[in-house]
Amino acid sequence: MAMAATAATRLIYIHQSPYIDFTSAHPYPTEPWANLTLTQMQTLLSAWISDSHNAVGKPSSWVSSTPKAWIAFAWWTGIYATMEAQGGDGSAFWWYNAPNDPNYGVVLGAPELAVFRAHSAVMQAKSGPFPTPTITPTTNPTLLFQSAVYDRDDHRHSRSLGPNLSLVNTGVGLQTIPLSALKVRYWYTTDTATADQYSCTYAIVGCANLTTSFVQMATPVTGADHYLEIGFTAAAGSLGPYAETGVIQGAIHKTDWVQLRSKQ
């Protein structure tokens, strides 16, 4: 956060707070109670930047209140030139696309916008290119993905189980993972020897891009003697960092649609 420094406060004292990351000023130089000339404002801005860097030890951000529209171009040209020459660190202006504010609003096509665009290009060059993310692969699926599996209802009087699911790439290692490398299992108990079947009702990745198989567990456990394994074809695509598959809705049922007695 930053706190604006005004004529009634001391920039250095306020911004020495450990809870403030950078210094900020939002002056109104052309208001009657300030009545500064452009040269005076440039001198004040230079002092603010110097104090920020040398006394406070923090970056400085200048928030420009747009002067009256008829002098904005000249003021922005002088102010941003001073800021660049003194090594200012950040800037913004008040306020854009405000046609109902003829005094301070900056509207589309205003000549001072060309000044700000040129200034922005200088600041972007000063910042340098965006850093290249460091990819640190991990093969641990418990770190790479989070899954949500839930039933659509309690199925006490149902002819199907409704395992709906979604997968989220946690972003660990900034890895993009092909969905075809993943499998999701849903454990349940089967009631009869009649074959089980899975029907996909909706999937953002496409029901046609799912693969399914049923496996009978060699050693049943409490609440499960079978599991449904859902996979993905190559056409399902990949999940980049922090992306998700969206919901995958489906149902397990008997081929004869007999009413189910138990589920997990």
Quick: pLDDT tens for 5-22: 443 346 788 888 878 889
Region 221-244: mean pLDDT is 91
| Per-residue pLDDT reduced to its tens digit, 180-203 | 988 999 988 887 788 899 999 999
Q: Where are the domains of the chain?
A: 4-127, 141-254
Which residues are CB-contacts of 55 (< 8 A; sequence separation ≥ 6)? 12
DSSP assigned state of 255:
T
> In a 3-state reduction of DSSP, which class is residue 13?
helix
**Percent above pLDDT 90 for the chain:** 28
* Cβ atoms of residues 187 and 226 within 8 Å: yes
pLDDT value for 223: 85
Pick from 6-10, 126-130, 149-153, 221-225: least confident: 6-10
Other CB atoms within 10 A of residue 177 CB: 19
Mean pLDDT of the chain: 82
Give the pLDDT band of residue 94 (cuts 50, 70, 90). Answer: confident
Q: In angstroms, rounded to a whole number, what is the distance separating the alpha carbons of residues 173 and 135?
A: 5
104 vs 248: which has the higher pLDDT: 248
pLDDT value for 85: 94
Closest CA relative to residue 247, chosen from 161, 142, 147, 144: 147
CATH for 141-254 is 2.60.40.710
Closest CA relative to residue 248, chosen from 231, 234, 264: 231
Radius of gyration of the chain (CA): 31
65 vs 48: which has the higher pLDDT: 48
* Cβ atoms of residues 234 and 240 within 8 Å: no
Q: In angstroms, rounded to a whole number, what is the distance separating the alpha carbons of residues 2 and 20?
A: 5
